[in-house]
Structure 1
Amino acid sequence: MLSKKTKYAIKALVALGKNIEKPPMQISKIAEEEHIPKKFLEQILLDLRNAGFLYSKKGAGGGYSLNKKPEEILLVQVMRVTDGPIAMVPCASLNFYHKCDECVDEKTCGIRSAFIDVRDATLKVLSETSIADVIGREDTLKLGIDTL
């Protein structure tokens, strides 16, 4: 399941991606528009800034803006910053691997094998989906709703 931290991070990046040609957005505006608790959003934006996705400006006219184009920010990158591993079990993780304590033989473990397939399918989608894609999906879905 997607954590709230990751969901909020994606929502904030989408809001900033839609705002790309405008001045930096203040945390309070993002929090209000996206229905994200402000204190939690502050932590998330700091993590995203430290990962190089965001630029922050202090003072008058300050706030946050994207440091990369929306099409350059992939969901897999965001998830790794906010949650760490993509895999659902530690023995199937590419970047955060560790053997399961109760495992007798990894090579013949059916659970591990199944969850490697899940990991690979998930990684494929997350690695091919950018913030720009999410924005595009929203726009397309809104057009569909408007034409009903």
Structure 2
Amino acid sequence: MLSKKTQYAFKALMYLSQQKDNGPILIAEISRKKKIPLKFLENILLEMKKEGILESKKGKGGGYFLAREASDIVLADVMRLIEGPISLLPCVSLHFYKKCDNCNEKECGLRDTLIEVRDANLAILEHKTVQDLT
């Protein structure tokens, strides 16, 4: 299940994508239009800025805007940034692998099944972008 934080990140990205011709957008506007708590949104946008998904401009006419085209912002990358691993178990994660406690990976049927789930999810999420959401 996607956390509220990730849902808000996608809502903000979709809004910024739709407003891209209007220049930088104030956090307060995004918060108001998308009904996202302001303080929570500030942290989310800052994380995405640090990762190079967003840029910001200070001063009059300032705000946030997409650092690259919406068609270049992959959903899996945003999810990993905000959520962490996409996989349901750490032992099947591609980017955040960690061996499960008390588990023999070679004999674990759950692991095998969740690898299939991970791969099915990634087949979609790594090929969809913010542009596809708008």
Provide the TM-score with structure 2 as the length reference: 0.98
Partner of 1:27: 27
Amino acid at match of 1:106: E
Cα offsets for 1:38-94 (capped at 9, x unmatched): 000000000000010111011111100001100000100100110111101000100
**Whole-angstrom distance in 2 between the partners of 1:5 and 1:102:** 32
Partner of 2:107: 108
Partner of 1:117: 116
Partner of 2:6: 6
Gaps of 5+ in 1: 136-148
| RMSD over equivalenced CA pairs, Å | 0.6
Partner of 1:53: 53
Partner of 1:126: 125
Equivalent position SS for 2:65: strand
**Whole-angstrom distance in 1 between the partners of 2:55 and 2:95:** 26
Partner of 1:41: 41
Equivalent position SS for 2:21: coil
Provide the TM-score with structure 1 as the length reference: 0.89
Gaps of 5+ in 2: none
Structure 1 ranges of 4+ moved more than 3 A = none
How many residues of Structure 1 are paired with residues of Structure 2 in the alignment?
Answer: 134
